Structure 1
Amino acid sequence: METFKRYLMFQGMMFVFGIVGPIFLILYFASQPDPTMRWAYWIGLFVTAADILIALVLTETSTPKRNSDD
């Protein structure tokens, strides 16, 4: 459960610092169907996916390793 709490902390931090991705996705879905807005979808998708992957990597690297020798 501690790892999940750590992940939620990192994920929240990534969405605060990386709010651009979700903003682009909201902008894309809130606008009228317009082919020139397709860039907002793809950039928003990539930034949001990167935020999630970065939070997962930070969680993995900050988890204390347990020795199997104990």
Structure 2
Amino acid sequence: METFRRYLVIQGMTFVCGIVGPIFLVIFFASQPDPTLKWMYWAGLFITTADVLIALAITESSTRDS
């Protein structure tokens, strides 16, 4: 449970620093269907995925040291 709590704290910090990805996704899904906003979906998806993977890597690294 301690590892999960540590992951949530680290994930929260990565979303604070990388909030652009989720913002892009919210704007994409909240706007009217527009083909010119397709880049916003892919950029938001990439940034959000990178945030999650970074948080997982930091959590693994910090639990290995403990």
Q: Look up the match of 2:13.
A: 13
> If each structure's helix is expressed as a fraction of its own residues, which one has the higher value?
2
**Rounded Cα–Cα distance in structure 2 between residues aligned with 1:32 and 1:5:** 38
**Rounded Cα–Cα distance in structure 2 between residues aligned with 1:36 and 1:13:** 31
TM-score under structure 2 length normalisation: 0.95
Q: Look up the match of 1:32.
A: 32
Query: Which contiguous aligned blocks of 4+ residues in structure 1 show a shift greater than 2 angstroms?
Result: none
Task: Describe the superposition over 1:13-57 as per-residue Cα deviations: whole angstroms up to 9, x where unpaired.
Answer: 011000000000011001100000000000000000000000000
TM-score under structure 1 length normalisation: 0.90
- Gaps (5+ residues) in structure 1? none
- What percent identity do the matched residue pairs reach? 68
The structure with the largest alpha-carbon Rg is: 1
Displacement after TM superposition at 1:64 (Å): 4.0
1:49 aligns with 2:49: yes
- Gaps (5+ residues) in structure 2? none
Displacement after TM superposition at 1:65 (Å): 4.8
